Amino acid sequence: MLYKGLIEKYREYLPVNAKTPVVTLNEGNTPLIFSEDLSHELGLKVYLKFEGLNPTGSFKDRGMTMAISKAKEKGATTVMCASTGNTSASAAAYAAKCGMKCAVLIPDGNIALGKLAQAMIHNAKVIAIRGNFDDALNLVKTITEKYPIELVNSINPFRIEGQKTAAFEICDSFGDAPEFHAIPVGNAGNITAYWKGYKEYHSAGKSKTLPKMLGFQAAGSAPIVLGHVVDKPETIATAIRIGNPASWKPALAARDESAGLIDAVTDDEILSAYKRLASGGVFTEPASAASVAGILQLHKKGFFDHVKGSRIVCTLTGHGLKDPNIAIKNVGQPVTLNADIKEILKEVGL
């Protein structure tokens, strides 16, 4: 049967009715890739939920199909969000799909080029503010409270509803939940959404168990780990450069109810995991690699010593093509040679 996107697939678990105009780009249905490399090193069965293969290249599309469909149902004509890049790319695309206006606030100079290009080409009004993501989100909250504009950040509950379907897909693939689920944490909407999804599927009898949620923030932007707001968040993983996450409390609930943890990984650990994933054929953006950096760090501490053979899923939140600059910066430029067979064979090592 033709796949029609996650709202049609999981309609019975979502707050939609026959009258909801479904705005979709056929998001969801992303692959769970088995990693031989990581499984071998960790003594676990490691799967990568590659959310970079959504229509705009990140998991945000799952939430955006719901948020935009519900905004349309309500009669909204304009949507707005603050973003470190992916939310704005997704909001712009879904708004374009259904003829809505979209305005986005981004932190000036701290968004990957691909994401900026996406928001612009889909005709969003893109405003770079002199400030960080947290400043932008505060502005968007104030504006959307006062004016007839729909907020499509993850404090919009429909975003969480859409994003929870990733947990459903994982349970549908395995016939149960994995033992562990590792995920990058920025504004903390996604960890909240996965946990909601796992719990709902469990209650519905679709899975027998619940996973332990393992969340990872970048060390320079780790408010939840530190237990306080970070005024000047820093990290090369610009997608998760956030000092005051909107879903802080639900993220703590996900951590505690699942008997999991939320920890920090350094930029070096993120970059190393980023390069390692790419060496294994999977190109993610740096923020996405935080989940893998996190489990490698836990492995070194012996965290998995007594649970060998367990199944663990790492969410890879966005595609590597979003940020080509950081890739080139980390691996260097190609060699340039004359158009000469001998020179080429020498370079290839033949």
Q: Does 136 bind ligand F0G (CB under 6 A)?
A: no
Q: Which residue has 């429909």 as its token pair?
A: 158
Those residues whose C-beta lies under 8 Å from the C-beta of residue 188, and which sit 6 or more positions away, are 215, 224, 245, 246, 247, 248, 250, 251
Minimal distance in Å, beta carbon 264 to ligand F0G? Answer: 14
Q: For strand 311-316 and strand 261-265, is the pairing parallel, antiparallel, or unpaired?
A: unpaired
**Which range binds ligand F0G by CB under 6 A, 5-13, 24-32, 77-85, 297-305?**
77-85
- Of 190, 276, 270, give the one whose Cα is nearest residue 238: 270
Identified binder of ligand F0G from the candidate list 277, 287, 296, 314, rule CB under 6 A: 287
Which tokens in the block code for residue 146? Answer: 């006062």
Note whether 79 binds ligand F0G by CB under 6 A: no
Considering only 162, 186, 197, 233, the residue that binds ligand F0G (CB under 6 A) is 186
Instruction: Tell whether residue 132 is a contact of ligand F0G (CB under 6 A).
Output: no
The span from the CA of 62 to the CA of 9, in Å, is 12
In the list 188, 224, 230, 254, the residue contacting ligand F0G (rule: CB under 6 A) is: 188
Q: Is 239 in the site for ligand F0G (CB under 6 A)?
A: yes
- Interaction of residue 318 with ligand F0G, rule CB under 6 A: yes
Out of 35, 56, 87, 144, name the contact with ligand F0G by CB under 6 A: 87
Q: In angstroms, rounded to a whole number, what is the distance separating the alpha carbons of residues 99 and 72? A: 10
d(CA 109, CA 152): 22
By CB under 6 A, is residue 58 in contact with ligand F0G?
yes
Residue 285 as a binder of ligand F0G (CB under 6 A): the answer is: yes
Q: Under the criterion CB under 6 A, does residue 154 sit at the interface with ligand F0G?
A: yes
272/265 Cα distance (integer angstroms): 11
Q: Among residues 129 and 307, whose Cβ is nearest to ligand F0G?
A: 129
| Positive/negative CA dihedral, 55, 56, 59, 63 | negative
Please state, in angstroms and rounded to a whole number, the distance separating the CA atoms of residues 343 and 350.
Answer: 10
Q: Should residue 288 be labelled a site residue for ligand F0G when binding is judged by CB under 6 A?
A: yes
- Listed ranges 13-21, 258-266, 284-292, 303-311: which one lies at the site for ligand F0G (CB under 6 A): 284-292
Chain residues that interact with ligand F0G, rule: CB under 6 A: 58, 60, 83-87, 154, 184-190, 239-240, 285, 287-288, 317-318
